[in-house]
Structure 1
Amino acid sequence: MISQDPPARLRALRARAGHGDDWRGTPQGDRLEHELAPLGVEIVHFSATVHASGTALRTALAAIEGERPDLETVAT
């Protein structure tokens, strides 16, 4: 059984988080890595794509799944 405590869940799942490589070396990116490292979360930086939009992909997937996209998720 996985704990309901978020840090314990992250450690149990050996979580990875993904971000665009534009976050690498920024104050926000450094803070995120610093805060999540003790929880065993590895940040993976993905290279930017010229013709792909994460917002467009999330919106399309939400439409396929019949859900309204989470505005906070779409905005990131």
Structure 2
Amino acid sequence: MNGSKLLKTKVDGSGYKIRFIAEQLGLTYQGFVNKINDIAKFRANEIAILCDLLKISDDERNAIFFDQYVDGQSTNNERSE
């Protein structure tokens, strides 16, 4: 499932109306719709608010917002000392 679909699933399952979520983010209805449809990008503060509001876990957050930027390889845990 791509990030946009996963986010839509979280929004649908939240019980909140899109307009309410948009207001919490300081966006218009259309502005939020553009972001969940990948027409515009979310800002860091909007991601933080969404994660809190929709109870999005760290793993879900990464899959929704950052999956296209992460190749699944870790450098922090694989350092040789």
For this structure pair, what is the TM-score category when the shorter chain's length is used for normalisation?
under 0.3
Q: Please report the TM-score for the alignment, with normalisation by the length of structure 2.
A: 0.23
Q: Pick 1 or 2: higher relative contact order, CA cutoff 8 A, min separation 6.
A: 2
Tell me which protein shows more strand as a share of its residues.
1
Q: Please report the TM-score for the alignment, with normalisation by the length of structure 1.
A: 0.24
